[in-house]
């Protein structure tokens, strides 16, 4: 009976993105829940990578196979509420009993009107981390931070430069603290949408510009470099969140303090804050049981475990009265930050805000005037937030499509009938039994997704998740440059030219380097040829995303190996991603490293098939080595390489990983290629999936045209 009752217990699936101490704390809470409710639901906690959490959730819940409940930051609540992914908690929890035990400022961001969508569990805010060996007492103002930086600069003369404060200055989430310190906000009072071009934004950006001109900010700081600077003592302070604790080296004496006051305004540099909450899926079959577990998770006993083991700033009030929590200096600092919480906006337009905002930041960090950077970013944001296209009738398009399909089928029928293909196919009908499985697989894996994507290009997805038919308006907007100038970065035609240049240069270098190495490796006088072949294939064997990240680090302005080599010959460091030519060169260098082994292997195979008698005859006739190469080897090699060149061109045309990981489209999207532009329209510019699908269709048509031209060239040869 006990085994039978265990089988009948309700199972609740919980998704989270925790790791380390937070995951350990959640495991303890789940275990204690099972012990306290042996006949209650069984919780299965599943860790989902943070980067893909939102996409997986949006794909799984509408289809009924997502989690029963999940833990996520509140930022995307507005969108998920409109998509119908979240179950309101009002009917499932006794809110008059539950809410008073939580901090009220963490509850408001989780409401949609008067409806409570989630139960707040903790908040994650930025704070000021400082090294106690360099800064005995944390500074209270930005002027004090500047004084510490100047002191460290003078004391590090003749050695590695030390800084007062380092942080990811190009990250708008972290820059928002300065914006609030200068009296601004992402959604200004009276504005219905996020806005960039405001006086407060200008003052905050001007402050960053002054730090750049003074040399107070290191160039091209990433999260990895921030950690390295702090651990090595090259930075006395950094702005970071609680996740940074796990990255601090064990021997570093550090402290955490609330964010400082901006000296120019007297206001606290209040950072954006994420309220981490538990949500119940709208498609769960056990909504009440899921809500009951959320209540347990937010309760005092669980909050104590999450605070002490997971080091979370929990929303449960009484936990902060515990002596062991009050003695924790890190938790105390984040608790002091609670007085200046600025919850991240949940407006659906925020999904289009971050890219223009960070573009303005990067331009200022490269030395641009703040006013100019803000104007350009605001224009870009306005393009992303332009009104949705109007709905049109499907009937004319269906009629046109039907006529086109009938005409194509009729033309093919007549063409095949003239060639007597049907009779031949009937005679060989038994052979088709072997082809049908592969044909079905290709149809399901290739043709159906292509047709779905092509159809998507005729639709627009609204904020509530519904789709509207808009006909060819996406194609019109792309081809007529409705979003801006036709030859500005991020326009279709500019990106097409960059993509063609990118493809041509890469293929030529792949062929030249790969073919040249193949000619050297076939030389009989070269010893250890097998070893060299194996070593030269390694770049092709390593996954390209790993190679991309390695090369991006090598092109870093301060610590990259490329600039290190340039400094040896007296050339000053190059900011590779600040200019179009150098950023494109960095992308090309990375992709050439990835691509030449393929051409080398193919060329070696074709060279092995060239009869040695031909070269011997030419040598007997008095031909030099260069003449034999030019008149015998290359004429036989190059035509055989043509299919590989075509394949390499298609691969390079769509080489998303290198562009995305190395230059990231910098500067200002100028080095993006068509496929990376399509990705950005789908996922970082307001989730315009139909617009991105139209890009994909145009890419397909361009590749079809390229293949047709290449086939004609091949036929002529």
Each residue's pLDDT tens digit, 199-208: 999 999 999 9
pLDDT digits (tens, 9 = 90+) for 382-408: 888 888 888 889 888 889 889 988 998
182 or 625: which leads in pLDDT: 182
Task: Please give the backbone phi and psi of residue 237, each rounded to the nearest 5 degrees, phi first.
Answer: -145, 160
Q: What pLDDT sits at residue 6?
A: 41
337 vs 462: CA distance, rounded Å: 37
* 251 contacts: CB under 8 Å, gap ≥ 6: none
Q: What pLDDT sits at residue 158?
A: 63
User: Under CATH, which number does the domain 2-123+274-343 receive?
Assistant: 3.40.190.10
Q: What pLDDT sits at residue 418?
A: 76
Q: How many CA atoms lie within 13 A of 516 on its CB side?
A: 7
611 vs 160: CA distance, rounded Å: 61
Provide the percentage of residues in the chain whose pLDDT is more than 90.
51
- CATH 1.10.3720.10 domain span(s) along the chain: 492-669
**Residue 241 has which token pair?**
């969140």
Peptide bond into 667 cis (omega under 30): yes
Sequence-ordered alpha helix ranges (H) in 349-491: 354-365, 370-384, 395-418, 421-427, 432-442, 448-456, 473-479
Q: How far apart are the first and last CA of the chain?
A: 80
113 vs 117: CA distance, rounded Å: 10
3-state SS assignment for residue 711: helix
15 Ramachandran zone, left/alpha/beta (phi>0; psi -120 to 50): beta
> Is 90 exceeded by the pLDDT of residue 215?
no
688 vs 665: CA distance, rounded Å: 19
Q: What pLDDT sits at residue 278?
A: 95
* Residues facing residue 129 across a β-bridge: 238, 256
- Whether the CA torsion 347, 349, 350, 351 is positive or negative: it is positive
Of the candidates 174, 171, 201, the residue with the CA atom closest to the CA atom of residue 188: 201
| Average pLDDT of the segment spanning 368-387 | 90
Q: What pLDDT sits at residue 199?
A: 94
* Residues facing residue 14 across a β-bridge: 45, 69
401 vs 455: CA distance, rounded Å: 11
- Whether the CA torsion 500, 502, 505, 510 is positive or negative: it is negative
236 vs 131: CA distance, rounded Å: 5
Q: Is the Cβ–Cβ distance between 172 and 354 less than 8 Å?
A: yes
What's the pTM? Answer: 0.85
Using only the alpha carbons of the chain, give its radius of gyration: 31
* Per-residue confidence band for 464, with pLDDT thresholds at 50, 70 and 90: low
Report the 10 Å Cβ neighbour count for 122.
24
The full DSSP string for 534-585 is HHHHHHHHS-HHHHHHHHHHHT-TTT-HHHHHHHHTTPPP--GGGSHHHHHH
Sequence-ordered alpha helix ranges (H) in 9-162: 20-36, 50-60, 77-83, 95-98, 142-155
Q: Which residue has the tokens 């104590």?
A: 304
- Burial of 346 from C-beta contacts in 10 A (0-12 / 13-18 / 19+): buried
- Burial of 285 from C-beta contacts in 10 A (0-12 / 13-18 / 19+): exposed
| Average pLDDT of the segment spanning 4-13 | 65
653 vs 324: CA distance, rounded Å: 58
Largest CA distance in the chain: 101
* Per-residue confidence band for 4, with pLDDT thresholds at 50, 70 and 90: very low
- CATH 3.40.190.10 domain span(s) along the chain: 2-123+274-343, 125-273+347-384
Q: What pLDDT sits at residue 716?
A: 62
* Per-residue confidence band for 299, with pLDDT thresholds at 50, 70 and 90: very high
Q: What pLDDT sits at residue 148?
A: 93
59 vs 285: CA distance, rounded Å: 18
pLDDT digits (tens, 9 = 90+) for 412-436: 888 777 777 767 777 777 777 788 8
* 101 contacts: CB under 8 Å, gap ≥ 6: 298, 299, 300, 316, 317, 318
Of the candidates 229, 231, 279, the residue with the CA atom closest to the CA atom of residue 14: 279
Q: Which residue has the tokens 């494109």?
A: 584
Q: Which of 164-178, 461-475, 563-577 has the highest mean pLDDT?
A: 164-178
Q: Is the Cβ–Cβ distance between 197 and 375 less than 8 Å?
A: yes
442 vs 636: CA distance, rounded Å: 35
- Rounding to the nearest 10 degrees, give the CA dihedral for residues 685, 690, 693, 695: -60
**What is the CATH architecture assignment of 125-273+347-384?**
3-Layer(aba) Sandwich (3.40)
Question: What does pLDDT average to over the chain?
Answer: 88
Q: What pLDDT sits at residue 705?
A: 87
Let me know how long the chain is.
Answer: 717
492-669 CATH choice from 3.60.70.12, 2.60.200.20, 1.10.3720.10, 3.40.50.720: 1.10.3720.10
């Amino acid at each position: 009976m006990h085994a039978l009752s265990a089988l009948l217990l309700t199972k609740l699936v919980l998704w989270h993105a925790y790791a380390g101490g937070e995951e350990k704390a959640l495991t303890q809470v789940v275990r204690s829940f099972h012990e306290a409710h042996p006949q209650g639901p069984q919780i299965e906690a599943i860790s989902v990578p943070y980067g893909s959490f939102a996409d997986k959730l949006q794909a799984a819940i509408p289809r009924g196979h997502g989690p029963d409940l999940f833990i996520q930051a509140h930022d995307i609540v507005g969108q998920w509420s409109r998509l119908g992914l979240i179950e309101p908690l009002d009917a499932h929890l006794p809110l008059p009993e539950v809410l008073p035990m939580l901090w009220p400022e963490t509850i408001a961001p989780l409401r949609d009107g008067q409806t409570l969508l989630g139960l707040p569990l903790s908040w994650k805010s930025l704070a000021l981390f400082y090294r106690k060996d360099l800064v005995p007492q944390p500074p209270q103002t930005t002027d004090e931070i500047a004084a510490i930086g100047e002191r460290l600069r003078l004391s590090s003369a003749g050695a590695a430069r030390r800084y007062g404060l380092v942080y990811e200055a190009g990250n708008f989430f972290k820059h928002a603290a300065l914006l609030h310190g200068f009296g601004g906000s992402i959604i200004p009072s009276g504005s219905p949408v996020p806005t960039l071009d405001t006086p407060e934004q200008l003052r905050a950006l001007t402050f960053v510009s002054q730090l750049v001109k003074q040399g107070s900010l290191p160039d091209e700081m990433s999260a990895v470099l921030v950690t390295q600077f702090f651990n090595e003592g090259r930075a006395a302070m950094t702005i970071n969140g609680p996740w940074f604790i796990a990255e601090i080296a064990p021997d570093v004496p550090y402290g955490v303090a609330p964010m400082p006051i901006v000296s120019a305004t007297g206001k606290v540099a209040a950072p954006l804050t994420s309220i981490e909450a538990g949500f119940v899926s709208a498609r769960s079959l056990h909504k009440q049981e899921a809500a009951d577990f959320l209540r347990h998770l937010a309760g005092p006993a669980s909050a104590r475990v999450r605070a002490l083991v997971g080091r979370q700033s929990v929303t449960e009030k009484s936990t902060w009265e515990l002596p062991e929590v009050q003695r924790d200096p890190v938790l105390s600092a984040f608790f002091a930050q609670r007085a200046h919480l600025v919850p991240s906006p949940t407006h659906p337009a925020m999904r289009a805000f971050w890219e223009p905002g960070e573009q303005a930041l990067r331009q200022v960090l490269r030395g641009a005037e703040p006013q100019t950077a803000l104007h350009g970013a605001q224009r870009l944001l306005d393009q992303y937030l332009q009104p949705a296209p109007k709905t049109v009738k499907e009937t004319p398009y269906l009629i046109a499509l039907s006529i086109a399909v009938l005409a194509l089928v009729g033309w093919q029928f007549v063409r095949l009938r003239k060639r007597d293909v049907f009779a031949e196919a009937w005679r060989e009908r038994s052979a088709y039994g072997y082809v049908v499985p592969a044909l079905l697989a290709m149809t399901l894996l290739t043709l159906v997704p292509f047709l779905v994507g092509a159809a998507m290009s005729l639709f627009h997805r609204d904020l509530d998740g519904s789709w509207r038919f808009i006909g060819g308006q996406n194609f019109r907007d792309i081809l007529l440059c409705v979003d801006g100038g036709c030859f500005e970065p991020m326009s279709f035609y500019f990106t097409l030219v960059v993509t063609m240049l990118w493809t041509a240069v890469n293929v030529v270098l792949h062929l030249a380097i790969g073919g040249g190495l193949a000619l050297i490796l076939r030389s009989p006088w070269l010893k250890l040829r097998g070893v060299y072949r194996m070593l030269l294939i390694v770049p092709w064997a390593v996954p390209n995303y790993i190679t991309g990240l390695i090369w991006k680090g090598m092109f870093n302005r301060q610590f990259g190996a490329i600039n290190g080599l340039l400094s040896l010959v007296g050339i000053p460091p190059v900011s590779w991603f600040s200019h179009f030519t150098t950023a494109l060169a960095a992308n090309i260098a990375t992709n050439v490293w990835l691509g030449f082994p393929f051409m080398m292997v193919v060329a070696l195979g074709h060279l092995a098939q060239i009869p040695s008698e031909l070269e011997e005859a030419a040598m007997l006739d008095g031909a030099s080595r260069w003449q034999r190469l030019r008149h015998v080897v290359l004429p036989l090699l190059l035509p055989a390489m043509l299919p590989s060149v075509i394949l390499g061109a298609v691969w390079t045309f769509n080489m998303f990983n290198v562009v995305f990981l190395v230059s990231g489209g910098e500067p200002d999207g100028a080095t993006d290629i068509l496929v990376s532009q399509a990705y950005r329209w789908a996922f970082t510019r307001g989730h315009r999936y139909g617009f991105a699908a139209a890009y994909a269709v145009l890419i397909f048509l361009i590749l079809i045209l390229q293949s047709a031209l290449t086939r004609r060239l091949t036929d002529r040869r």
